[in-house]
Copies of this chain bind each other. A is one copy, B any other.
Amino acid sequence: MNGRSPIMQDGLVLSLDQVLARQSFKWRQYSPGVLAACVADMDLGTAPAVRTALAQLLQRVDLTYPLRDGRKADRAVARAFAARMHRLYGWAAEADQALVLPDLVQATFAAVMAFSDPGDGVVVQVPHYAPFREAVEGTGRRLVPLAMRAGADGHYFDFEALERAVDARTRVLILCNPHNPTGRVAIRAELEAVLAFAERHALVVVSDEIHADLVYPGARHLPFASLSAAAAARTVTLNSATKSFNIAGLRCAVAHFGTAALQARFHARVPARLTGAVNNLGIDATVAAWNDGQPWLDAALAHLLAMRDHLAETLRRELPAIRFHVPQGTYLLWMDCAALELGRPAAEFFLQHARVALSPGEVFDAGAPHCARLNFATSRPILDDILERMIAAVRAHQRRPVHA
């Protein structure tokens, strides 16, 4: 496993044959011949440091109950998280206040259940990652929408509309920053406005920062809890190496509590053992990624930046009716296809006529079937094929006979 293998070369980006060899949700949920630009993982490998860590565990057949540095193995993830937050953002996150658990959707459910009761309100950005809605409505809470309005150069919070909706039983605000699906990275002033709002309404902030590593030049990620001690005291920060290092299947994530008091409030309702132990491959992969994966991540980001810019240029030139903001973070493009007048949901149109699978806009916002999310974390040849298919499908649609 160290170095080259017959299937997986050391190149950063995978060929179509290589991604099709994966038993991945992204590439195998559609019929053959469909190009997948949906599920948020990358048509890339992962960092050599991660592959080496995994290979070493298999080499030793080291798959029994793990210990790392004389402590429970999950603590190695907590320490690596705290060290990384300090290194990247100057944020003195406490390792002892980090719960290590298998996944962040789980963490969102757990936080909603810990910090609110059935019937309470939970603020969620719209559009939003679909499982946030499940975490709210599936647990009997009410979704209080925080609209992301498309402004001149990105999507902004619409607090005025929110102030009219929030009530005394609103308890939690789920913040996703960098934002999926719009790719917006909030600036400090916006986060401070979120904090002031959260303080005014005594909300716990669940800050999903899983895309924090995936921010392009010109923008900068700020952990919400790093704003101030007051912010930390009401913030659960969710993070994971699985998104930026492309190891979603390894299931290892962190829920960090800004204070021991907030952690104790959480555990009074959700015992630590209820969320389950993390597997030792996920643990070692995460530690390797966070401590030794930066060279690979830098190369991946350079590639993603090139794909983002190529995608934006091509859409502007060839499909100018599609409206979008160039994402400041994430490898996701949120496209408004209303002006194409497709006559059906955008993702449905592109799946049927372009054989390109996008994530349907209505999954992120019931009112946005005219929108779709495009995952551009792929190779230039695959991205070009996706674009050619989309362009051809739109042109054919525009040439169609109109029955008046």
Contacts and interface: CB of A to CB of B under 8 A. Distances in A.
Interface residues of A, number: 69
Contacts of A252: 279
A382 interface: no
A101 interface: yes
Contacts of A72: 25
Given A55-B1, A102-B102, A280-B249, A67 B273 contact: no
A274 interface: yes
Interface string A1-31: 1000111100000100010011111101100
A282 interface: yes
A138 interface: yes
Contacts of A250: 63, 279-281
Contacts of A29: 67, 70
Contacts of A323: none
Contacts of A67: 23-25, 28-29
A369 to B, nearest CB: 24
Counting chain B CB atoms within 10 Å of each CB, the highest count among A5, A64, A66 belongs to A64
Contacts of A63: 46, 246-250, 285
B278 A106 contact: no
Contact of A246 (B8, B45, B64): B64
A295 to B, nearest CB: 17
A61 interface: yes
Interface string A103-137: 10110011001000000000000000001001100
A276 interface: yes
A139 interface: yes
Contacts of A23: 62, 66-68, 73
Contact of A24 (B7, B62, B101, B251): B62
Contact of A26 (B64, B273, B277, B278): B64
A42 interface: yes
A49 to B, nearest CB: 13
Interface string A207-241: 00000000000000000000000000000000000
Nearest to A278: B251
A41 interface: yes
A276 B42 contact: no
A39 interface: yes
Given A59-B5, A249-B281, A274 B24 contact: no
Nearest to A249: B280
**A-B pairs, 4 with minimum CB distance:** A249-B280, A102-B276, A41-B64, A106-B276
